[in-house]
Amino acid sequence: MSEIEDVKKLRKLCGAGFKDCSSALKEANGNIEKALEILRVRGISKATKKMSRVANEGVIAVNGNKSKISLIEVNCETDFVAKNDDFINFVKEISVINNNVNSDLENLKKSKMNNTETVENNLISLISKIGEKITIGRTKTFNYENTFNYSYLHTVVKDNLSKLAVMVSIESLDDSDNLEKFGKQLSMHIAALNPLAIDSTNIDKAILDKEQNLITEELKNSGKPDDIVKKISIGKLNKFKEENSLLSQAWVMEPKKKVSEVLKEVSSNVKIKDFYRLKIGE
């Protein structure tokens, strides 16, 4: 794309004059997003005010297969835009590209779309056309060896787009109908119960420390002896770990069983490798 075309695109997006846009682009070495920031700092940009607004709506797209699967979040300001055909078509197309580039955001932005323009340039054009802040959010790819991937979409907007999505990767030497059934059900379980990690040893220490502090504050004025308070504190923290670790959670389909027990029923050689849950607005 020529410098003049870049300036035109920047003007269309921010409403600033040709000279100001040209100067900002030179300072940003041709990077339109950086040029927008420069103009905003200078107080020249008008329409870029939209880029400081909150974009909590949008959709999550899942693309791929059992061998390799990816998830990408694209945010906008209103649910109305999230259902717009131009927005939906953009997200569907970049979800394929995202899977191809293994959720590498920089490669994604530089990749060409069907109209031969880059994802980054198409995003800028879409923002200009729709008039809302639109951003590419979180991305994730599962591409492990000897695993099978499954997904679940909740509150589907259209096709492979939803408001909540789950991917799960299961380590197994053999594929089977039984494994597929479990994989799909496990994805639904994760969507419903939102575990923090596969087992308690993998829960983020910062999360556990925060929970411990909350428990301590809760028990501080109980009037109980210190040794009793300590026992209660340990019990509460262990319960928190159990309720937030996937393997020790009660199985949604049959609450009398733990996920770990259901896993053993599927096969003794099956292991949950990884999972990822993403909800718009969280």
* pLDDT tens, position by position, 132-170: 889 999 999 999 999 999 999 999 999 999 999 999 999
- Mark whether 20 and 65 lie in a shared domain: no
- Mark whether 68 and 148 lie in a shared domain: yes
Looking at residue 116, its pLDDT comes to 94
| C-alpha–C-alpha distance, residues 186 and 192, integer Å | 10
Q: Residue 43 sits in a domain of what CATH number?
A: 1.10.8.10
pTM, rounded to two decimals? 0.80
Domain count, the chain: 2
pLDDT in tens, 219-262: 877 777 878 888 899 999 999 999 999 999 999 999 999 999 99
pLDDT in tens, 179-231: 999 999 999 999 999 999 999 999 999 999 999 988 888 887 777 787 888 88
pLDDT in tens, 161-170: 999 999 999 9
What is the span of the domain harbouring residue 90?
A: 57-166
Residue 111 clears pLDDT 50, i.e. is over it: yes
Looking at residue 173, its pLDDT comes to 86
- Mark whether 151 and 69 lie in a shared domain: yes
Looking at residue 41, its pLDDT comes to 67
Looking at residue 50, its pLDDT comes to 58
Residue 47 clears pLDDT 50, i.e. is over it: no
Residue 44 clears pLDDT 60, i.e. is over it: no
